[in-house]
């Protein structure tokens, strides 16, 4: 499957809202809930506007992962980009119907190529100890495991910790 990433735009609001609602239960199995308020159209619209403002001023890039028909398959973001140290923090999620197809790996490869052009030198990421698929995606894309948090938290009845990764990018 061919995959593209496109920067988030206000015109994506309805499709993105539907994507988030359709995949809420699935996402909440692996990441903490965003809460019921997030899934109210007015709240979602305000949060989307806030993301777009952050993107406009720089320091964060929000992308949608799409197929050739422009259907949203997932999201991938690089946020809190430190302009001095050139370090950004990765986040991503793919819809339940699109897991196990290599979509995030393809999108991540595109993102790394894109941000290399924007002078990012390192990308940091974290996932939970139970999210083996996410760990594999990061490792497949050259991220190095740099540690596991000693602090645990409970989510969905499981005791979890965060696993931290980093990718150092060498520019030519």
pTM attached to this predicted model: 0.88
Helix axes 132-140, 103-117, angle to 10 degrees: 50
Tens of pLDDT, residues 5-22: 999 999 999 999 999 999
pLDDT value at 172 more than 70: no
CATH number reported for the structural domain that contains residue 120 in this entry? 3.40.630.30
Mean pLDDT of the chain: 91
What is d(CA 99, CA 157) in angstroms, rounded to the nearest whole number? 23
pLDDT higher at 152 or 5:
5
Look up the domain containing 34 and give its range.
4-168
Q: How many domains does the chain have?
A: 1
Tokens of 74: 């997932």
Residues with Cβ within 8 Å of 121's Cβ and at least 6 positions away in sequence, in order, are 85, 86, 87, 168, 169, 171
Give 26-79 pLDDT, tens digit per residue: 988 777 788 899 999 999 999 999 999 999 998 899 999 999 999 999 999 999
């Amino acid at each position: 499957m061919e995959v593209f990433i496109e920067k988030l735009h206000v015109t994506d609001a309805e499709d993105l809202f539907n994507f988030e609602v359709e995949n809420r239960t699935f996402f909440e199995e692996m990441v903490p809930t965003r809460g019921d308020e997030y899934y109210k159209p007015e709240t979602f619209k305000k949060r989307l506007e806030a993301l777009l403002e952050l993107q406009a001023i720089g320091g964060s890039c929000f992308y949608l992962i799409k197929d050739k028909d422009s259907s949203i398959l997932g999201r991938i973001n690089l946020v809190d980009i430190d302009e001095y140290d050139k370090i950004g923090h990765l986040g991503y999620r793919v819809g339940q119907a699109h897991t196990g197809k290599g979509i995030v790996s393809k999108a991540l490869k595109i993102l790394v190529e894109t941000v290399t052009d924007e002078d990012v030198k390192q990308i940091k990421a974290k996932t939970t100890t139970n999210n083996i698929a996410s760990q594999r995606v990061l490792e497949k894309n050259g991220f190095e495991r740099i540690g596991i948090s000693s602090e645990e938290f409970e989510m969905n009845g499981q005791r979890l910790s965060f696993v931290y990764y980093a990718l150092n990018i060498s520019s030519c």
